[in-house]
Chain A
Amino acid sequence: MSRMRMKTIVTLIVLTLGITINASSVMAGKSSLNLGMVLEPPHLDPTAGAAAAIDEVVYANIFEGLTRIDKTGAVKPALASSWTVSEDKKTYTFTLRKGVKFHDGASFEAGDVVFSLDRARAKDSVNAQKALFKPIESVTSKDPNTVVVTLSQPTGSFLFNMGWGDAVIVDEKSAGKNKSHPVGTGPFKFSKWVKGDRIVMARNEGYWGTAAKLKTATIKIIPDPAAAVSAMMAGDIDAFANFPAPESLSQFKSDPRFKVVIGSTEGETILSTNNERGPFKKLKVRQAIAHALDRKAIIDGAMFGYGTPIGTHFAPHHPAYVDLISTHPYDLDKAKKLLAEAGYPDGFKGVIKLPPPPYARRGGEIVASQLRKIGIELEIIPVEWAQWLDQVFKKRDYDLTIVSHTEPMDIGIYARKDYYFAYDSPEFQGLMQKLAATVKTDARYKILGDAQRLISKNCVNGFMFQLAKHGVWNKKVQGLWENSPVQANDLTQVYWAD
């Protein structure tokens, strides 16, 4: 039977069953957008959870902070229209925007800022990024439109930090219900959430700034790569800011309806190594691993070629980035030699624990196969995030793992000796202290470069690649972010071109 006829028959069957076949996107019109997302946020309160999916829904759309990060990663004014910084870099005076209202009609005032920041740093705070608020000594409102924040020590990144999703301003009245019914000041109002399926937002007509162009925005949760492909193809989804299946991007590239945008993220994907355990204590072993990793094969195999190799823990698109890939080139002979010198001429056995994302599971399989070539036999243990956090992150019960560190500018974690890498280097810690006290950009970049070189030289972890952002969207959709300096899907400026 020809495919044509088969199709007719099947269509007939489906029609007789009373099921109408239409692409719902045709009806979608020009003022609404269906945005696909892989992970469903557990809840919608960015101040009470670490899940990136929360920010991906609400950041800049529903909630706003004093400052915001724009698509280039630069700090821009948001609820604070301007600010001044004192000489000693310890006092920030924010001038707040006037006439801003929360979605429930409550007006935004200095008291809300004080409440939000105090709540985040309180003892019983459940803020996942409490460290952001550590430097704050006090928050006071001078008048309804002015807030003064005093820091205990100068913090170079303070304004950037205030742009994080975890630092958004909430209203005391509605804060308790933000998890299920978020109320913010942003250009979109939350309208409904069909758990496990979609979250709908509607334009906030009383927005203080430039109103959003879309009337409604629907975020559809599609966790399965294959389903994502079909949904995109069928037009059920207009855009995927981060498409879950890099393997199918070529298909979309060749389809004139779609635009494929490969952008950058802040996700350094690394082979995290337990520096205090067994053979991995030895620098030579870690060096051998560094030489045994074929980054190109890993990027090709796990991410279908999308991703930028890195030689250290730093985003390649950042001006302070130092290219250190060539310090440990792929060289099996050298790796074997190093391993022998370390006392393991026949290799050894180890364990690699892999969290759920495909970059980790697929990448882990490839890494295991690559390390097998120099005699390191890895047992692959897949773990859920819960187990990963418990066993790997908290109890450090692991040899190797693969994870993407998606927080921006997070090289500072190497200074935490109790961090799960168990990397204790006074030299590095010194660099970070110096960095904190340095304000000048050039000097900061130099210190950051030294820091990158140091962890690369020490082979703290296997540095693999920078996660790419694979955007796929309908050609007519304009204004989506191409890169993700922070985890967000800022829909403020999105519109349909004719």
Chain B
Amino acid sequence: MRIFLAKRVFTLVLTLLVATLVVFVVLEILPGDPAAVMLGINAEADTLNALREELGLNRPVLIRYIDWVSDLFTGDLGISYTYDVPVSELILSRITVSFPLALLAITLSTLIAIPLGIIAASNHNKPMDFLVMSFSQIGIAIPNFWFAMLLTILFSVTLRILPAGGFAGWDAGIGPVLKSLLLPTIALALPQSAILARVTRSALLEVLKEDFIRTARAKGVNNQGTLWKHALRNALIPVVTIMGLQFSFLLAGTIIIENVFYLPGIGRLIFQAISQRDLIVVKNLVILLAGAVIMINFVVDVLYAVIDPRLRGDKDV
């Protein structure tokens, strides 16, 4: 386990380092001058130069890269060009929107998907199974932003009971926050749950064919018991894999969904930062997100070992 962990951490750091290089190079290529964006069309050349100097954009490329990476290690992400506040503060304030959203979405999708998958698998080839699979097929095919629009049309335009967008802010209390996150959460969670339900179902069906299920039944365990006590945990491995992969999709999803609902989250921040050429925000955010994905993959690996004792690498007796 320890060697396994050490190896994982090493690749994790290496991947992140390569990621910093790629992101940095990409942003160097990115056309558009942050100073020009900030100062607009009437700005004069020496004003632009003064601002670039102030932002530290006039230093040599290599120095800037090394500075950035070493700052990353110390946790100092620098000051946003446009907002003029520490990037870490900016990101933190956006995370208070995106993280609850992602968490709610993944919770909701799991809460929907796993029971649906179980229902479908335990009613294999029966009408209930067909129903769940149809839901799944439709859910997978529907783009989440369209679904978000449909939800808005129904709940905000027609019924007018939920806001069409915006975030109430945490100081407004938990109620308004949940209210503003409700539609985005559903829009994110439902398509995800469609995929997850499908994976749960097929993983369960796969496991239910295994010999040890027959063993359990031969012991006198009833159908419910075999499903819950024996099949489910074994089926969790592919389910957790997909959930790990979905995290990355979820991040992508939040970018679009935050744009549909105008939530001041990470997704909107990165979109906005790219268009305003707030490069310092962009590069740190991208690294943060890549880091999050890599971390999640790491967590998934660890979860595997928790679920499946065979992967813990313990020695035989």
**Chain A interface residues toward B at CB < 8 A:** 3, 6-7, 10-11, 14, 17-21, 24, 42-43, 45, 48-51, 123-131, 179-180, 194-198, 220-224, 226-227, 229-231, 233-234, 236, 356, 384-387, 389-391, 393-394, 407
Contacts and interface: CB of A to CB of B under 8 A. Distances in A.
Contacts of B175: 18-20
B43 interface: yes
B50 A123 contact: yes
B32 A42 contact: no
B291 interface: no
Interface residues of B, number: 58
29 contacts: A3-B159, A6-B159, A10-B155, A11-B161, A14-B182, A19-B178, A20-B179, A51-B40, A126-B54, A128-B39, A130-B43, A194-B93, A195-B85, A196-B93, A196-B264, A197-B167, A197-B169, A220-B166, A226-B164, A227-B262, A230-B163, A231-B165, A233-B160, A236-B166, A386-B33, A390-B33, A390-B36, A391-B31, A393-B36
Interface stretch (B2-10, B194-202, B212-220, B269-277): B269-277
B275 A386 contact: yes
B282 to A, nearest CB: 11
A3 B31 contact: no
Which 7 A/B pairs are nearest by Cβ-Cβ distance? Answer: A50-B40, A196-B264, A386-B32, A230-B164, A227-B165, A179-B84, A42-B82
Contact of A195 (B44, B46, B264): B264
Identify the interface centre among A19, A123, A407: most chain B CB within 10 Å of its CB.
Answer: A19
Identify the interface centre among B39, B85, B94, B157: most chain A CB within 10 Å of its CB.
Answer: B39
B178 A394 contact: no
B162 interface: yes
Contact of A125 (B31, B50, B261): B50
Contacts, number: 168
B152 interface: yes
A128 B42 contact: yes
B268 interface: yes
B18 interface: no
B84 A43 contact: yes
Contacts of A386: 31-34, 36-37, 275-277
B308 interface: no
Given A195-B93, A197-B169, A50 B38 contact: yes
Nearest to B47: A130
Nearest to B264: A196
A230 to B, nearest CB: 3
Contact of A123 (B34, B46, B82, B93): B46
A385 B32 CA distance: 9
Contacts of B54: 124, 126
Contacts of B63: none
Interface of B: 31-34, 36-44, 46-47, 50-51, 53-54, 82-85, 90, 93-94, 152, 155-167, 169, 175-176, 178-179, 182, 261-262, 264-265, 268-269, 272, 274-278
Given A196-B93, A196-B264, A389-B33, 11 more contacts: A10-B155, A17-B178, A51-B40, A124-B53, A179-B83, A179-B84, A198-B169, A227-B164, A227-B261, A230-B165, A236-B163
A124 B47 CA distance: 6
A195 B90 contact: yes
Contacts of A236: 163, 166
Contacts of B276: 42, 385-386
Contact of B44 (A131, A393, A394): A131
Nearest to A192: B171
Contacts of A195: 83, 85, 90, 93-94, 264
Contacts of A198: 169
Contact of B47 (A11, A24, A127, A394): A127
A3 B158 contact: yes
A10 B182 CA distance: 13
Nearest to B177: A19
Nearest to A226: B164
A494 B179 CA distance: 30
A236 B166 CA distance: 10
B32 A129 contact: no
A104 B73 CA distance: 37
A412 B262 CA distance: 39
Contacts of A18: 175, 178
Contacts of B90: 195
A125 B54 CA distance: 10
B161 A10 contact: yes
Contacts of B83: 42-43, 179-180, 195
Nearest to A407: B42
A384 B264 contact: no
Identify the interface centre among A125, A385, A386: most chain B CB within 10 Å of its CB.
Answer: A386
B240 to A, nearest CB: 28
A126 B39 contact: yes
B185 to A, nearest CB: 11
Nearest to B165: A227
B275 A385 contact: yes
B37 A385 contact: yes
A49 B39 contact: yes
Nearest to B46: A123
Contacts of B264: 194-197, 221
Contact of A7 (B47, B161, B179): B161
Given A220-B166, A234-B163, A390 B32 contact: yes
A143 to B, nearest CB: 32
B50 A131 contact: no
Contacts of B31: 386-387, 390-391
A125 B43 CA distance: 10
